[in-house]
Every structure is written in C-alpha cells, then in structure tokens.
Amino acid sequence: MASVLDQMDAPRPVRIAARVLGWPFRWLGFEGDPDLPPITRAITALGPSYIKFGQILSTRPDFVGPEMAMQLRVLQDKLPPFPTDAARKVVERELGVPLESAFSEFSEPVAAASIAQVHRARLAESGREVAVKVLRPGIARAFRKDIDAFYLGARVVELVAPQARRLRPMDVVAHFDLTVQQELDLRTEAAAASEFKASTERDDGFSVPAVAWNYCGRSMMTLDWAEGVQLADLAALDAAGHDRQALADRVIQLFLRHALRDGYFHADMHQGNLKVAPNGDIVALDFGIMGRLDEYTRRVYAEILMGFIRKDYRRVAEVHFEAGYVPADRDVDLFAQALRAVGEPIFGMDASRISMGRLLAYLFEVTERFGMETRTELILLQRTMIVVEGVARMLNPHMNIWEAARPEVERYIRDNLGPQAVARDLWRTAKVLSRFGPHLPQTVDAVLRRERQPLTVVSKGRDFSGPVWFVAGALATALAAAVMTLVG
C-alpha cells in the first residue's frame, strides 16, 4: 500500500503513516501467489474488497504510473482461478442436474476476478454458446470480513478525526456493503443484465449479451458468449483495424448516455469488462455493479457538466447550491472562483499533459474549504467517471474529454431542460393530480363541514396549518382535472 501511495504522490505524512502502521503486520500477512508482481500479490492477499480498489487504480496510469497500472490489470480478470471441479459442483447444485445434462461442453476457466470466474460452455439442449459465471467458494465470508474491518475503520476515523465526518465514512461503507450484497447474488446480476440490455437495445455501436434464464441461480449465471478483443489489448485492437480514438470517444459518450438518458448505467466499466466485437460494437460484460440516478439528480449532473463545457462557472456554482451540495451559508462567488481554478487549466489541453492526481487533490481541498459532504447517491457515478475516463485515456492518451462529452450532454439538455421538457413535466404532474378527481366532492365537502374555526396561517415560519392545505389541494386537483379534460 505504501508503494501505491508513493506512486500517487500522496502527502508525506500519509505515506509515513502507511509504512509505520503496516510494518508490525508484515509477518502476519498472507504471502499470496508468488507468480504475481509484488504490488498485485499484496492487494490480492488483502482480500476481495481491496482487489476492487486495485481494479480502479489499474485504469489510471496517470495516478499510479504505466508500469504499476499494467501490473494491476491482472486484478481485472486474470487472478488465479479456483478448481474447475469446484465450479462444476456449484453448477450442479444450482441447476439440480448433472452438469453434462445442462452443458455439452464446459471449459476450464477463461477469466477469473475477485468474486467469480467464467467458463466457456455450450448448452446441451440448443447448442447455444454461452459464458457461465460461477461465484468463488467462500467469497461471501471473505467480503464480510473486509466490510466489518471497514466499519471499524470508519468508526475510528469518525472518533479521532471529527473534521472527516463530512465525508460520512460510515455511510460510505454502508453503501459499499449494500453494493457487495447485490453483487454476491448472481440472480440479481442476471436481472441487471436483462434490464440493461432492454434499455440499450437501440444504441448503435453497443451490445449486451442475452441472459439464459433457465441456467441461472444465486451462485451462477449464464449469458450468451461474446466474441471480441478486450479493450485492454491495444495491440490486438490495432491489428483488428479498430479506431482507438473513436472507441475512446464512444466509451465516454455511452457512459453519459446511459447515466443521463436512462438513469441506469454500468458502474464497473474497466477494460476487463469491455470487449470490441468483430463488427466494432463495444460489448459490456459483468453487471454485478450497476448505478441508478433519479431524474432530478440527472438534471443537476447535466447542468454541472454543461456549465463546465461552456465555462459558465457561476452557473455551475449555483447548481451546486440549488441541489444542496454546498451549504447555503457559503459564498457562491468564491465557490465559482474555486471551480474556475479547477476547470480552466484543463480546457483545450492535451489529456496526456493533465495531472488528474493533482486535480483531484485540489478538488478535495475545495470540498473541504466549502464544507461539502459526501453524497452517497453519487458515489457510483463519481467512481465510474474516474474509471471510464481512465479507460478512454488509455485508448487515446491525447483525447479531449470535454469535446467527447459535449454531444451527449447537449442532447440531454435539449431534450430535458428546454420548453418541451417543461411542458412534459406539467403534463405528467397533471396526470398524477387528476387521479384524485373522484375524491374532490367528498374532500371539499369534508373541509367545508369542519368545525368553524379560523384558518391558521403563520407566515414568518412558513407554518401553514388547519384546513388551508385541504382547500389548496382540492383546488389544485380540480385545476389539474380541468386541464386533463381540456387537453385529453
């Protein structure tokens, strides 16, 4: 861990603390696979949760250096597999039949990551070629141990470092805990794959394998086999004639399209989970971690991105305040000035010349200065943004992230923040309110028959009570019903 912090140029006190705290535990640690590079072996020995962190770092050579990023890429899908016999037993237990009855072919592992491994197989009934994903035995217990340690660490941080409470470490760990529990049930992942395929069916240049539902269970799932070149294999991409610059732009745009348009996106988009099919489509794999954004958050996110693209830092600052991301007692102009210091150095600059490590360090300073708390609903979005940008930069080190993002953000702004969007929102509100139409006569009658008492209105504290709300609600509902009648 100390070596990783060195590569990331972490503050000197943090690196010293990592070495001092880690020294007593060296002789207690699990040595790991000696065939793996030292850093990779150390992370693997720590457990599956740390492997997840290593996978993120593997997409960011600008953070940890090209050599370490290459070593960490093993964590994506080339970890030591568990025995095929153990996988066969899991499959037979889940399906309730001998493996040969379900699959006419069942290969040795073709990929292995922190939670599961994948076997190439063929369905006995139809001859359909599939990928069978099987959970590692004991993985739930291993994750539980990691997460319990994280809870303890988060509690200690909150007790000894009150200034860190704005980062909400306990909430962050709880969010991670929930994500892991979903990832450990492959029936949930199968449902996620099916939903994601349905929502992206019409996206050109992108595909999701279909689920073979009759061959799924809690500890295994089966998808169509996806042929293609892994996005990490740059030499193979070049040999196959794929345009890496176009692929880099498409990775960014697909992520933004799914996050903004659908509010449902792949939240683990490292190279090990992405292939390029022979026809040039990007194929997504591994749907254990998916992100969701409600419509309001999507609009906030799009406005922030569009503000940066247009260099309208004042509007970016205002959106942060409107959404409650920055405490209301802070100065919006000072915050806009701080955002300008973030945005200006990276506009128009070649991505290879941008130090994302220094940029994120400054962003962290800004969040601390303005008292910004961690938003757990945005954790997966922010994490995926870091990974996706890293993947795109590896495909095209000279790409302009903002120019790649502009078409999708502008399309979303046009469709969801213009006059048509306002009219659509009013129509949807009227439809909801109109459902209360049948209750209007009884509601109004009940209000008018109440005991005669003055309506209570306290304007300063905005505490409106009594039957005021009943009357207002009845009038609003009546108006909505009238609108629906006239329009429909």
What was the pLDDT predicted at 360?
Answer: 58
Higher-confidence residue of 203 and 34: namely 203
What was the pLDDT predicted at 361?
Answer: 58
Task: Check pLDDT > 90 for residue 236.
Answer: yes
What was the pLDDT predicted at 467?
Answer: 45
What was the pLDDT predicted at 27?
Answer: 39
Long-range contacts of 160-167 (CB under 8 A, 24+ apart): 163/368, 166/368, 166/371, 166/372, 166/373, 166/374, 167/373, 167/374
DSSP β-bridge partners for residue 274? 284
Q: H or E element: which one contains 463?
A: strand 463-464
Pairing of strands 274-276, 457-458: unpaired
- Give the pLDDT confidence of 42-74 residue by residue, as tens digits: 777 777 777 777 777 777 676 667 777 777 777
Give the phi and the psi of residue 433 in degrees, each rounded to 5.
-65, -30
Higher-confidence residue of 286 and 428: namely 286
Q: H or E element: which one contains 130?
A: strand 129-135
Positive or negative, the CA dihedral 143, 146, 150, 156 is positive
Question: What percentage of the chain has pLDDT greater than the value 70?
Answer: 77
Which two structure tokens, joined as six digits, stand for 266?
Answer: 């792949």
- Give the pLDDT confidence of 283-321 residue by residue, as tens digits: 999 998 899 999 888 988 888 888 888 889 999 899 989
User: For residue 54, which of 38, 73, 37, 35 has the smallest C-alpha distance?
Assistant: 73
253: left (phi over 0), alpha (psi -120 to 50) or beta: alpha
Return the number of other C-beta atoms located less than 10 Å from residue 126's C-beta: 10
Kindly name the residue from 204, 268, 331, 425 that is annotated as catalytic.
Answer: 268
Higher-confidence residue of 61 and 238: namely 238
Q: How confident is the model at residue 147 (pLDDT cuts 50, 70, 90)?
A: confident
Domain boundaries defined on the chain: 1-77, 231-417, 429-487
- Give the pLDDT confidence of 359-374 residue by residue, as tens digits: 555 666 777 788 887 7
Query: The whole model's pTM is what?
Result: 0.75
Of the chain, the end-to-end C-alpha distance in Å amounts to 64
What is the rounded CA–CA span in Å between residue 228 and residue 231? 9
Reply yes or no on whether 85 is catalytic.
no
Task: Check pLDDT > 80 for residue 265.
Answer: yes
DSSP assigned state of 31 = -
Task: Check pLDDT > 50 for residue 438.
Answer: yes
